[in-house]
C-alpha cells in the first residue's frame, strides 16, 4: 500500500519534467532584439514569443528593466518607441 503514493509522486515528477522540457524547446515563432534609450541610457535585449506582439513587448520590458527605476520610469520607458528593433526569427 505504501508504494502507490510513491509511484504517483514519480509519475507526477516525470509529467512536470516533460512539460518543462517541452516548453523550453524553442517553440517561439518570433524572436526580436530591441534597444531602448531612456534618460540618457541604452539597453538592448532579445526576447521570443509565440506572437509577434508578445516577443516585442517582452524585449521592451526587459530592456527597460535595466535602465528605468521605479514604476513611473518603467511605464514611461515601455511607452517609448525602441531605438532599434531587429527581427531575428
| pLDDT, tens only, 5-18 | 788 888 888 988 88
Per the prediction, the chain carries an average pLDDT of 89
Strands ordered across the beta sheet of 30-38: 41-49, 30-38, 84-87
Is the whole model's pTM more than 0.85, yes or no?
no
Q: How many angstroms separate the CA atoms of 47 and 88, rounded?
A: 10
Which residues, 6 or more positions from 51, have their beta carbon under 8 angstroms from its beta carbon?
A: 29, 30
Q: Residue 23 above 90 pLDDT?
A: no
Within 10 angstroms of residue 83's Cβ, the number of other Cβ atoms is 14
Distance (Å, whole) CA 82 – CA 57: 11
* pLDDT tens-digit series, residues 41-57: 999 999 998 899 999 99
pLDDT at 39 over 80: yes
Domain range annotation of the chain? 22-87
Amino acid at each position: 500500500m505504501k508504494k502507490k503514493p510513491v509511484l504517483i509522486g514519480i509519475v507526477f515528477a516525470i509529467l512536470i519534467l516533460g512539460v518543462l522540457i517541452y516548453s523550453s524547446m524553442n517553440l517561439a515563432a518570433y524572436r526580436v532584439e530591441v534597444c531602448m534609450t531612456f534618460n540618457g541610457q541604452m539597453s538592448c535585449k532579445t526576447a521570443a514569443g509565440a506572437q509577434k506582439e508578445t516577443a516585442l513587448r517582452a524585449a521592451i520590458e526587459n530592456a527597460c528593466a535595466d535602465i528605468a527605476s521605479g514604476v513611473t520610469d518603467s511605464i514611461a520607458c515601455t511607452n517609448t518607441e525602441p531605438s532599434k528593433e531587429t527581427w531575428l526569427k
